[in-house]
């Protein structure tokens, strides 16, 4: 104790020349700090930067360009650009038309024959490939995104709405609910963008998505077994168990003609996909295969009159463009919560796919996509869509990849695609009459097979076991329980993991690397050695309410002594434990990796300092960061717990300055 008195009195003077002081960050008012924090949270991409210092007129032009990116590229649009966009647009149209037709299957869970929808807009899928791309080409900032219905959002929307309405018995109500859910999805997406809350979709981590996509692909494929085998009576549930039992309980309904046809086309499509992936130059084979399948199968059915031999076909479809559907939106109380929930879930899922696709291709071509702006564009597109007989649409990853490969230059390729779809809607609809459902099923299966990304899952396993657990839970949840449950579990698990890292922060014992002034983790660096008389610990997380109890009980409380013992045990030295405990004089806490503290954290540091003093041990804080330093100073004004020489800039300086007091007391 005498040594301590000496140190308090003179130590600081004696060593002050060699020692650097810890600085406080420049003072900043609370309002300024809040502003900075708000900006970092909601405007990290600084969208107003380019408005700065511009004349008023220019500001208006910039604002218009921000809202309507079409104004950015349209004025300088040229014929050569159009040629590229034309090719790309036709390419994606050839993919989109068969896909769009079949995504409606997913929405209705393949449980409906188109004929039943005679009084309704017959091909909502195609409608959704017509209006939204046009809206997106005006509002969207991605040049590569191909917009339209996507498999997973169709699947999720269908499975959620089927819980409140039966598409077979009441298709009209079902479509109304689908449009209403689409409206809410759009509203939700646009609000996320306007409120700058886009970071919410970041919580769908890569691992979650890998599992989710694979699970969805399997569910979608299994659903198609119905059409592939020609089964008439099929379960309405989505899980693997009811679907498989439904398949094998209805073996008498299997139609060999349908199955044979389906397997042939599926084999052809998978082969084309394989060739397209192996030889990037031949990618057009995989792109053209679906359209070719539709044409060939339609011709075959027409020529051999297979519809009379148990092969079910789409049937007659009326020509005509989208009709207004705002009068079909249902806002009464009965179905409101169901449509809002469906809108929320499909909104997030489709947003995640759209934004991720947009960012991927933007980074490939080195331009920037503003996430929040994109959300507004996708949201508006869905709101407009819901009023024009479309259901939820977004940027599809697979079609965008085709668009990108086909050499699109601007969003004009979407216009080209929409125009092609329009021509189809106006003129070519009757041609689909003989298209067999089985070939659509084969196209769906071939399309979603690519979503099962086994190598990505392997890499996740190799890198991070907990991430793999997230991936697996997402996969199993989707396959065996439900799409929403699977997603919720995976998101909950990954968020819980983050919270757990804060709640149970790492604490490491630090030693000196001999011959240097470098101090590092003694576990990681075997050559690092502890210094007699000192216990040096580093905390690796913000110190806050969620971990102070843990830190106190587990790590640094010195009463009872057993906790300190835990740290000393790790050092290998000839002296006995008791000797070491007795010779300990300083507990150095390295705060370099503590970005923030809250009031609980300050209380913790304060109490630690006081309680260890009782045991003749002094706590030294090393290198607190700006915010931590500020709070320590403010707390010191209240509690006065920072004595002279409680703060050092580096561990090395602390050890050198304090070593004399160890020898004195020894």
* Partner residues linked to 194 by β-bridges: none
Query: Could you say which residues in the range 528-557 bind its own copies, by CB under 8 A?
Result: 540-542, 544-550, 553-554
Q: Is 45 in the site for its own copies (CB under 8 A)?
A: yes
Q: Which residue from 244, 304, 498, 582 is in contact with its own copies, where contact means CB under 8 A? A: 498
Q: Is 48 in the site for its own copies (CB under 8 A)?
A: no
Cβ–Cβ < 8 Å for 414, 395 = no
Query: Could you say which residues in the range 273-332 bind its own copies, by CB under 8 A?
Result: none
Q: Which residue from 559, 570, 573, 575 is in contact with its own copies, where contact means CB under 8 A? A: 559
Angle at 208 between CA 203 and CA 212, to 5 degrees: 125
Binding segment (CB under 8 A) for its own copies, from list 94-102, 105-113, 121-129, 522-530 = 522-530
Cβ of residue 45: shortest distance to its own copies, in angstroms? 6
Cβ of residue 29: shortest distance to its own copies, in angstroms? 11
Cβ of residue 200: shortest distance to its own copies, in angstroms? 10
Distance (Å, rounded) from C-alpha 355 to C-alpha 346? 14
> Of the candidates 223, 108, 116, 211, which has an alpha carbon nearest to the alpha carbon of residue 167?
108
Q: Is 492 in the site for its own copies (CB under 8 A)?
A: no
Query: Could you say which residues in the range 204-243 bind its own copies, by CB under 8 A?
Result: 205-208
Distance (Å, rounded) from C-alpha 587 to C-alpha 7? 15
Kindly list the distances between the CA atom of residue 518 and the CA atoms of 198, 285, 527, in Å, as whole numbers in the listed order: 42, 60, 11
Cβ–Cβ < 8 Å for 417, 96 = yes
Cβ proximity to its own copies: between 246 and 606 the closer is: 606
Cβ proximity to its own copies: between 426 and 502 the closer is: 502
Cβ–Cβ < 8 Å for 475, 214 = yes
Cβ proximity to its own copies: between 282 and 364 the closer is: 364
Cβ of residue 206: shortest distance to its own copies, in angstroms? 5
Query: Could you say which residues in the range 144-203 bind its own copies, by CB under 8 A?
Result: 199, 202-203
Cβ of residue 481: shortest distance to its own copies, in angstroms? 21
Cβ of residue 565: shortest distance to its own copies, in angstroms? 10
Q: Which residue from 5, 13, 34, 260 is in contact with its own copies, where contact means CB under 8 A? A: 34
**HEC profile for 316-337?**
CCCCCCCCCCHHHCCCCHHHHH
Q: Which residue from 16, 495, 573, 575 is in contact with its own copies, where contact means CB under 8 A? A: 495
Cβ proximity to its own copies: between 237 and 359 the closer is: 359
Q: Which residue from 9, 44, 47, 492 is in contact with its own copies, where contact means CB under 8 A? A: 44
Kindly list the distances between the CA atom of residue 611 and the CA atoms of 99, 122, 149, 558, in Å, as whole numbers in the listed order: 69, 76, 64, 7
In this structure, the strands spanning 618-622 and 586-590 are: parallel
Tokens of 64: 């218009």
Binding segment (CB under 8 A) for its own copies, from list 61-69, 105-113, 187-195, 590-598 = 590-598
Cβ of residue 665: shortest distance to its own copies, in angstroms? 23
Query: Could you say which residues in the range 71-90 bind its own copies, by CB under 8 A?
Result: none
Cβ proximity to its own copies: between 281 and 614 the closer is: 614
Task: Give the 3-state secondary structure of residue 17.
Answer: coil
Distance (Å, rounded) from C-alpha 310 to C-alpha 296? 18
Binding segment (CB under 8 A) for its own copies, from list 36-44, 59-67, 160-168, 213-221 = 36-44
Residue 588 host element (H or E): strand 586-590
Cβ proximity to its own copies: between 8 and 359 the closer is: 359
Distance (Å, rounded) from C-alpha 136 to C-alpha 140? 5
Q: Which residue from 41, 163, 245, 570 is in contact with its own copies, where contact means CB under 8 A? A: 41
Query: What's the gap between Cα 647 and its chain centre?
Result: 41
Query: Could you say which residues in the range 616-655 bind its own copies, by CB under 8 A?
Result: 623, 625-627, 629, 631, 634-635, 637-638, 649-650
Q: Give me the 421-460 binding string for its own copies, x by CB under 8 A, dash otherwise.
A: --------------------------------------xx
> Of the candidates 100, 614, 606, which has an alpha carbon nearest to the alpha carbon of residue 394?
100
Cβ–Cβ < 8 Å for 624, 594 = yes
Cβ proximity to its own copies: between 215 and 533 the closer is: 215
Q: Count of residues binding its own copies (CB under 8 A)? A: 92
Distance (Å, rounded) from C-alpha 375 to C-alpha 28? 34
Q: How many other CB atoms are found less than 10 A from the CB of residue 34?
A: 10
Cβ of residue 648: shortest distance to its own copies, in angstroms? 11
Q: Which residues contact 443 (CB under 8 A, 6 or more apart)?
A: 98, 99, 102, 265, 269, 290, 293, 294
Query: With left for phi above 0 and alpha for psi between -120 and 50, is residue 255 left, alpha or beta?
Result: beta
Binding segment (CB under 8 A) for its own copies, from list 65-73, 407-415, 574-582, 591-599 = 591-599
Cβ proximity to its own copies: between 309 and 554 the closer is: 554
Q: Which residue from 1, 2, 23, 278 is in contact with its own copies, where contact means CB under 8 A? A: 23
Cβ of residue 539: shortest distance to its own copies, in angstroms? 10
Task: List helix spans (H) across 545-650.
Answer: 548-550, 562-569, 577-583, 599-614, 626-639
Distance (Å, rounded) from C-alpha 586 to C-alpha 657? 12
Q: Give me the 1-20 binding string for its own copies, x by CB under 8 A, dash otherwise.
A: -------------------x
Binding segment (CB under 8 A) for its own copies, from list 71-79, 272-280, 374-382, 524-532 = 524-532
Cβ proximity to its own copies: between 527 and 579 the closer is: 527
Query: Could you say which residues in the range 332-391 bind its own copies, by CB under 8 A?
Result: 359, 363, 366-368, 371
Cβ proximity to its own copies: between 540 and 664 the closer is: 540
Query: Could you say which residues in the range 457-486 bind its own copies, by CB under 8 A?
Result: 459-460, 462-467
Cβ–Cβ < 8 Å for 381, 139 = yes
Tokens of 161: 């709405």
Contacts of residues 398-402 at CB distance under 8 Å and 24 or more positions apart, as own/partner, are 398/447, 398/450, 399/92, 399/95, 399/96, 399/99, 399/146, 399/148, 400/144, 400/145, 400/146, 400/357, 400/358, 400/361, 401/361, 402/91, 402/92, 402/95, 402/146, 402/283, 402/287
- Helix 465-476, helix 206-229: angle, nearest 10: 30
> Of the candidates 632, 152, 213, 182, which has an alpha carbon nearest to the alpha carbon of residue 452?
213
Q: Which residue from 501, 570, 573, 575 is in contact with its own copies, where contact means CB under 8 A? A: 501
Q: Which residue from 84, 113, 257, 596 is in contact with its own copies, where contact means CB under 8 A? A: 596
Binding segment (CB under 8 A) for its own copies, from list 168-176, 380-388, 440-448, 596-604 = 596-604
Cβ proximity to its own copies: between 607 and 664 the closer is: 607
């Amino acid at each position: 104790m005498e040594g301590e008195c000496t140190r308090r009195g003179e130590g600081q003077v004696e060593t002050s020349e060699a020692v650097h002081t810890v600085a406080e960050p420049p003072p900043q008012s609370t309002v300024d700090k809040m502003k900075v924090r708000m900006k970092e949270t909601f405007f990290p991409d600084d969208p107003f930067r380019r408005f700065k210092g511009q004349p008023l007129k220019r500001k208006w032009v910039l604002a218009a360009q921000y809202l309507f990116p079409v104004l950015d590229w349209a004025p300088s649009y040229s014929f050569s650009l159009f040629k590229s966009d034309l090719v790309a647009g036709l390419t994606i149209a050839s993919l989109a038309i068969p896909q769009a037709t079949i995504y409606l299957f997913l929405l209705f869970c393949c449980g409906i024959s188109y004929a039943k929808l005679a009084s309704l807009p017959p091909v909502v899928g195609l409608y959704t490939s017509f209006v939204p791309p046009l809206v997106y080409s005006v509002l969207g900032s991605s040049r590569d995104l191909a917009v339209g219905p996507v498999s997973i959002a169709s699947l999720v929307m269908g499975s959620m709405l089927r819980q409140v309405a039966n598409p077979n018995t009441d298709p009209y109500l079902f479509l109304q609910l689908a449009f209403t859910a689409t409206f809410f999805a759009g509203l939700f997406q646009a609000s996320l963008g306007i409120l700058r809350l886009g970071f919410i979709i970041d919580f769908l981590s890569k691992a979650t998505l890998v599992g989710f996509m694979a699970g969805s692909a399997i569910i979608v494929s299994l659903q198609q077994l119905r059409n592939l085998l020609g089964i008439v009576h099929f379960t309405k549930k989505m899980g693997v168990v009811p679907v498989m039992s439904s398949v094998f309980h209805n073996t008498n309904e299997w139609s060999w003609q349908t199955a044979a046809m389906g397997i042939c086309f599926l084999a052809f499509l998978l082969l084309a996909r394989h060739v397209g992936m192996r030889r990037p130059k031949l990618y057009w084979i995989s792109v053209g295969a679906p359209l070719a399948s539709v044409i060939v199968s339609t011709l075959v059915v027409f020529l051999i009159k297979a519809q009379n031999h148990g092969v079910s076909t789409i049937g007659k479809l009326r020509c005509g463009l989208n009709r207004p559907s705002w009068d079909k939106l249902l806002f009464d109380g009965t179905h409101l919560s169901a449509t809002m929930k469906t809108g929320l879930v499909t909104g997030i899922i489709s947003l995640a796919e759209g934004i991720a696709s947009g960012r991927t291709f933007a980074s490939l071509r080195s331009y920037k996509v503003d996430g929040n702006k994109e959300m507004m564009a996708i949201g508006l597109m869905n709101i407009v869509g819901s009023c024009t007989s479309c259901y939820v649409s977004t940027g599809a990853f697979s079609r965008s990849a085709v668009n990108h490969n086909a050499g699109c230059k601007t969003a004009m390729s979407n216009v080209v695609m929409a125009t092609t779809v329009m021509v189809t809607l106006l003129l070519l609809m009757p041609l689909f009459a003989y298209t067999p459902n089985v070939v659509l099923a084969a196209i769906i299966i071939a399309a979603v097979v690519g979503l099962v990304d086994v190598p990505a899952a392997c890499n996740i396993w190799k890198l991070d076991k907990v991430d793999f657990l997230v991936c697996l839970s997402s996969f199993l949840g989707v396959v065996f329980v439900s799409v929403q449950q699977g997603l919720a579990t995976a998101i909950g698990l990954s968020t819980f993991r983050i919270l757990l890292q804060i709640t149970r922060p790492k604490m490491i014992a630090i030693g000196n690397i001999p011959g240097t002034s470098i101090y590092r983790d003694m576990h990681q660096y075997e050559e690092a050695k502890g210094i007699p008389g000192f216990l040096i610990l580093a905390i690796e997380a913000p110190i806050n309410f969620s971990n102070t109890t843990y830190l106190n009980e587990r790590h640094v409380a010195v009463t009872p002594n057993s906790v300190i013992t835990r740290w000393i045990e790790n050092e290998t030295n000839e002296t006995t434990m008791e000797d070491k405990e007795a010779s300990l004089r300083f507990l150095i806490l390295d705060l370099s990796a503590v970005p923030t503290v809250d009031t609980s954290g300050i209380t913790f540091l304060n109490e630690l300092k006081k309680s260890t003093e009782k045991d003749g041990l002094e706590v030294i804080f090393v290198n607190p960061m700006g915010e931590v330093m500020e709070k320590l100073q403010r707390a010191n004004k209240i509690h006065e717990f920072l004595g002279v020489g409680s703060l050092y800039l580096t561990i090395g300086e602390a050890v050198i300055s304090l070593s004399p007091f160890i020898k004195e007391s020894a």
